[in-house]
Amino acid sequence: MKSSQPKPDMSRRKFMALAGGTAGLAAMAAMGLSPEQGECSPNIPAIDVDKMTYAENEADVLVIGGGMAGLFAAVKAHDAGSKVMLVSKGRLGASGQTPFAKGIFAFDSSSEKMTLDEFVATVTRSALGTNNQVYTRQMAEHSLARINELREWGFFESPLYNKNFTKPIKERNIALKERIVITHLIKENGSVAGAAGFSQDEEKILIFKAKSVILCTGAGGFKPNGFPICDLTHDGTVMAYNIGAKVTGKEWNDGHPGRAKNAAACFDGWHGMFERKPGITGVEVHHDLGVDLNYKVYATGNAVKMGPPGAGGREVVAGGPYVPEEFKRRNGPPQGEKGPRGGRPPEREGGAPPPGMGEEPVGGSSAGMAIHKSEGLVPINDKCESNIPGLYAAGDALGSYMAGAIYTQIGSSLAGSAVQGAVAGQSASEYCRGVEMPAISEAKMDEVREEILAPLKRESGYSPAWVTQTLQGIMIPNFIIYIKKERLLKAALAYVEELREHHLPMLRAADLHELRLAFETANMIISAEMKLKASLMRTESRCSHFRLDYPEMDTENWNAWINIYKGSDGSMQFEKQPFDSWPT
């Protein structure tokens, strides 16, 4: 009975601190976090840091990422005459979102009723002007050619892509390094000079010298549950940001829900779609929000059933995100709310609803990810080039706004990655012809090495898994990134800034797996800060960005994209770039 009362000698302050601590523990327990994990605890290394070896590699064009964009970047840079090396955190064709995308868009002018101009105009209407028409057109224009190449490699014959991705790489003898975590881009004398990272299998740090680097690193999220993007943590974007590249698109959101039962099981939630062979989709432009479903739940509580994307649930709720009349899904066939919208195989279109539909949904299965190809490096032209000379990006790593700030053309995600990969490969190769192999100074290499090893050397610190869970706890619940309002965004921002200031520099790692987690966690924290700040800055609602306090579209002030870059003092800087313009 008396056990809960403070002892007489205990000061009130001490008691409050204890009680607060207990409440905190209770809250953590409720979130499922064990306190031992979170304590700033000693690092017990499982590997000997002093035994780490170093290896240097050299290539004209270094392609980072083994998905659809990386494949074409490597192939086309090679075919344009460059010595190429392809490095991937995972396995070729089995990492990022590529292995789960099953629909690829082809614009076949011989069979489409629409002309290319009409297609671009339709996408632009649906995207409410947020798309970069140059990239929309480029994607459609080259899609068929890329698909024909894929067909030659056997892409459409298997649900697994490793074998058919390996074919063109092997045929060309392109150097391939898998399971390498790239942590740093290296810049010397204002241009990109290579990259550095470590192997997940051997205790080895790798330095890559290259004339040009193409980031095909995809986008990312907060390792959310229900979407197979837990290996995507905005690595490319943050590495590029750190060396001065401009990035964009952080305010947009992919609003996919998951299902309540076993929300984390993406294979089960996607109803076996991962097991299908890929198929080709034709012109079909939508305004697929996902955000509207989030709004409906926000407004009425979760009694919604999963329905067609863009339609949210069954009943109509006043207010909320705007969907242009032309693109409202009314009587269309029920479509999978789940799965990459680009990945819906053609056989499902118009067919019966997939099994398991109508299940009770939960939110945030893709939390932290923007619309395909709306976030990433800012291109300075139609060649996938960034503002850092020699640095290119393609696919979801490039903020090309190919589809706009909303997902428009079904299957264009995979097609866009293929097309942009090829464009970037070609342009990077052309760029290489005019430059010498850059030298990376010893001082730079030492600095990078030390930064890579830092989490392993830290005698105590925070476990990356715990920091990630904390970040998820801040960024995922309460509609923060879906139904935005200033007060809540600022509250989350304060917390995320704390993670960046205090936890990020103290991430520890006991082995190579945890070292990877440490870098991924750091990248997610930076991306979260970008997302919150860009969301605060954009004082309007449009496409997949919905502000409850600014629910209208503001064409006067906001026909512009938001670019983010690192200021000379290291602070996060923001600028507007008018739609239909290139950065200055």
Partner 1 sequence: MSIEHIKGCIGCGICVQTCPTDVLRQDVKTKKAFIKYPADCQICHLCRMYCPVDAITISPEKSIPVVVSWG
Partner 2 sequence: MSTFPERSLLKESLSVVTILAFFQMVGQFFWTRANKSAVAQLTMSKIIKYHKIIGYIVVMVLLIHPFLLVLPRLFESGVAPVDAFVTIITTLHRGVVLGLIAWSLMLALAVMSLVRKRLPMQYKTWRVVHGMLAMVFAIIAAWHVINLGRHSTLVMSLFISMLTGGGVLFLLKTYMLKKKKTSEA
Residues that bind partner 2 (CB under 8 A): 158-160, 163, 272, 274-277
Q: Which of 41, 57, 162, 242 binds partner 1 (CB under 8 A)?
A: 162
Contact partner at residue 266 from partner 2, partner 1, none, CB < 5 to 8 Å by partner kind:
partner 1
Beta carbons within 8 Å of 393's beta carbon, 6+ residues apart: 214, 215, 216, 217, 236, 240, 376, 377, 379, 384, 386, 424
The three-class DSSP label of residue 62 is: strand
Contact partner at residue 276 from partner 1, partner 2, none, CB < 5 to 8 Å by partner kind:
partner 2
Under rule CB under 8 A, residue 156 binds partner 1: no
Beta bridge partners of 85: 62, 175
Instruction: Walk across the sheet containing 376-377 and list its strands.
Output: 376-377, 247-248, 560-566, 572-578
Under rule CB under 8 A, residue 178 binds partner 1: yes
366-405 mask for partner 1 (x: CB under 8 A)?
-x--------------------------------------
Q: How do beta strands 560-566 and 572-578 pair? A: antiparallel
Beta carbons within 8 Å of 414's beta carbon, 6+ residues apart: 68, 98, 101, 103, 104, 105, 278, 342, 343
Nearer to partner 2, 54 or 267 (CB): 267
Taking Cα atoms as reference points, which of 248, 544, 519, 531 lies closest to residue 396? Answer: 248
Q: Which of 242, 302, 559, 577 binds partner 1 (CB under 8 A)?
A: 302
The end-to-end CA distance of the chain, in Å, is 70
Residues 110-139 that bind partner 1 (CB under 8 A): none
Nearer to partner 2, 102 or 209 (CB): 102
Q: Output phi, psi for 460, to 5 deg.
A: -150, 165
Under rule CB under 8 A, residue 63 binds partner 1: no
Name the packing angle between helices 442-457 and 512-537 (round to 10°): 100
Least gap, CB of 216 to partner 2 (angstroms): 24
Under rule CB under 8 A, residue 559 binds partner 1: no
Helix (H) and strand (E) counts in the chain: 14, 19
Q: Which of 160, 299, 303, 439 binds partner 1 (CB under 8 A)?
A: 160
Least gap, CB of 573 to partner 1 (angstroms): 29
Nearer to partner 2, 262 or 381 (CB): 262
Least gap, CB of 556 to partner 2 (angstroms): 51
Rounded Cα distance, 484 and 473, in Å: 16
Least gap, CB of 3 to partner 1 (angstroms): 29
Question: Which amino acid, one-letter code, is at 5?
Answer: Q
**Footprint of partner 1 on this chain (CB under 8 A)?**
31-33, 90-91, 94-96, 99-100, 159-160, 162, 178-179, 200, 223-225, 228-231, 257-258, 260-268, 274-275, 294, 297-298, 302, 362-365, 367, 465, 469, 472-473, 476-479, 482, 513, 516-517
